[in-house]
A and B are shown apart, each in its own frame.
Chain A
Amino acid sequence: MRVAEHLNEALHALLDADPSVHVLGEDIVDPYGGAFKITKGLSTKHGSRVISTPLSEGGIVGVGAGLALAGDRAIVEIMFGDFAALAFDQLLNFASKSTTMYGRRVPIPLIVRCPTGGRRGYGPTHSQSLQKHFIGVPGLDLYELSPFHDAHALLTTMFARQTPCVLFEDKVLYTRRICRDGLVDDLFRFELTGGWARVYADGDVPPGCAIIAPGGLTDRALEAMRELLIEHEITCVLLVPERLYPLDPAPVMDVLRGVGTVVVAEDGSAGGTWGAEVSRLLHPELWASLSGPIRLVSAADSIIPTAAHLEREVLVQADTIRRAVLA
């Protein structure tokens, strides 16, 4: 099963289980079913709880927050994550703050889903990975879809936080297979531990390097790991957190203490990155065991060009990660 279908099933299950769940977004009802078809079939089955909206990203996140404030649970799809910029006020100044600024905990079960990332030739305003711009907002939690984490469990976890959450979903990842039963491919296996996926080469060789990356980087990280293993005999472990912020590294600290090299990879542009936040957390803990500073991999400090050959120059490729490990 592809990640897109898996996420679609998870949304169906949420709507089935709870009549207070509402899904809002642009062009999400059938027969169109959303720009990436993640919401296909939802409106046919769940009617008025699945609402196609005007082109009003700020407005619909506000409506979602209002539903959540009054006792419902809301999922808002931003057609392209880039447009979440238009909803920043509602997220920063209302939804996240309302959980605490009234002097007591106010539950705001709101999930904002953001199809994210490039490699599809959509150009500068439809290809970005904006995770870093939402880091450090009190009361706002950031999650990212991966092929390893169960989407229904993930969405359930987010609602249970009673706090607004942004879910980043890599657009290419939608087309990839989900990984189940601990199996990735002929070389790699995975296990889930405390919200992290640990992806490792099947065998007895302890890894010399850990790659920490959000779910959207999985395909490129695995390609890099494969080459490093076969061509360079370097064994890496890939660590994929379901929650990017606030990050809880505790469940993977034992793994990280056992490696000399740590690489943090992400799709956002260079400067003020998620990786910088991850390394801020990890450096004090790993200072004694690291062979050198944590290495940060990100897209270039650049807009994302449209032409495929130009886009490749800017975005993180498997080779970018491979070279960071070898550096």
Chain B
Amino acid sequence: MVVVIEERVLGLTPVADADLGRMLRIRHFERALLRLFERGQLNGTTHTCLGQEHVPVAVSGLLDPDDYVFSNHRGHGHFLARHDQPDALLAEIMGRAGAVCNGVGGSQHVYHGRFLSTGVQGESLPVAVGVALRLKRVTPGRLACAYIGDGTWGEGSVYEALNMAQLWRAPLLVVVEHNGIAQSTPTTAQLSGSIAGRAAGFGIPHHRIESVDVNVIRAELEPLVTLARTESRPVVAEIAVHRAGPHSKGDDTRTPAELVAAAQGDWQPRYAEAFPAQFARLDEEQRASIGRIVDDVLIRPASVWERS
């Protein structure tokens, strides 16, 4: 889809409240997590998706409730774009009552409805192929969507899965959030060749999206998603993003210049500048909403795991 240039403000197309609101909801959720960590109120570790929130928001607008979503270690945005239940996710991360998996899985291991995340890189792709094969047989037109990063391409399971998906025509949408850095290692030091070349090697359609505009991303994704649904085949969507935050909590070793570049690639200040009134209104809404949710979850009792 060609987005008409005249409609853009500072390079961005007008954004729906629902989309910008959800992007900001995820942003405030992630920031709240980092604050809770700083105050020593969160156990364990977490990986925030700061700077990447717009991707799952764009993707989720194209998904059907019967589609499966497979997420990874950096999955809060994937979950919140799919299920507007930040309280259940925060309770999960904090081990409080109302947790989506009773506090057992935590940040990286969430299974809710048809959303499933796992903590081992690339592990979910073969599983997604299996699920996609069942969907193809039982509910044609539905697909399995799997989010991975650029670092995930180091795992052999990715190649095994893509090979099988293409051989057996599994309706699989692979969304690559290419943030250019795998924990602390730049992509240039861990990935030879290209993701496009890899997809081509399997004969799998691939499209790279450079925009941070949620409408543009969705519009460019749409033909791929349609292909996966109507022709029952795997597709790879690679979306250039910038990880605006650390890998985990306080472990960012990037240079000041690299951090500036990452910040400049962040969608948030650009939307703030392009649509100041709408942004301010939604930002305040979400700040307040997440704040209330944090206050609520903090006073909940510990979650209970009924082992059986």
Residues of A that sit less than 8 Å from B by CB: 51, 53-54, 56, 58-72, 74, 89-90, 93-94, 97-98, 100-106
Contact = CB atoms under 8 A, between A and B. Distances in A.
B161 interface: yes
Given A65-B127, A70-B134, A72-B134, A101 B104 contact: yes
16 contacts: A59-B126, A59-B164, A62-B161, A66-B126, A66-B127, A69-B127, A70-B135, A74-B130, A89-B157, A93-B119, A93-B123, A94-B118, A94-B127, A101-B104, A101-B105, A102-B105
Interface stretch (B95-103, B237-245, B254-262, B264-272): B95-103
Given A59-B164, A103-B101, A66 B109 contact: no
Interface string B67-99: 010000000000000000000000000000001
Top-8 shortest CB links A-B: A66-B130, A62-B126, A59-B160, A103-B102, A103-B101, A102-B111, A56-B160, A63-B130
Contacts of A62: 123, 125-127, 129-130, 157, 160-161
B110 interface: yes
B131 interface: yes
Contact of A93 (B101, B118, B163): B118
Given A59-B157, A102-B111, A102-B116, 8 more contacts: A53-B164, A59-B126, A59-B164, A60-B160, A62-B129, A65-B130, A103-B100, A106-B111
Contacts of A66: 126-134, 144
Nearest to A102: B111
A255 to B, nearest CB: 31
Nearest to B92: A103
A255 B89 CA distance: 52
B167 interface: yes
A63 B133 contact: yes
Query: How many interface residues does chain B have, given as a range?
Result: 35 or more
Contacts of A67: 130-131, 133-134
Contacts of A64: 130
Interface of B: 68, 99-105, 109-111, 116, 118-120, 123-135, 138, 144, 156-157, 160-161, 163-164, 167-168, 303, 305, 307-308
Output the residue of A61, A62, A71, A90 with the most chain B CB within 10 A. Answer: A62
Contacts of A51: 168
B126 A69 contact: no
Contacts of B160: 54, 56, 58-60, 62
A72 to B, nearest CB: 5
A178 B138 CA distance: 38
Nearest to B117: A102
A102 B127 contact: no
A72 B119 CA distance: 24
Given A66-B127, A66-B128, A94-B127, A102 B163 contact: no
B126 A58 contact: yes
Contact of B307 (A60, A89, A93, A100): A100
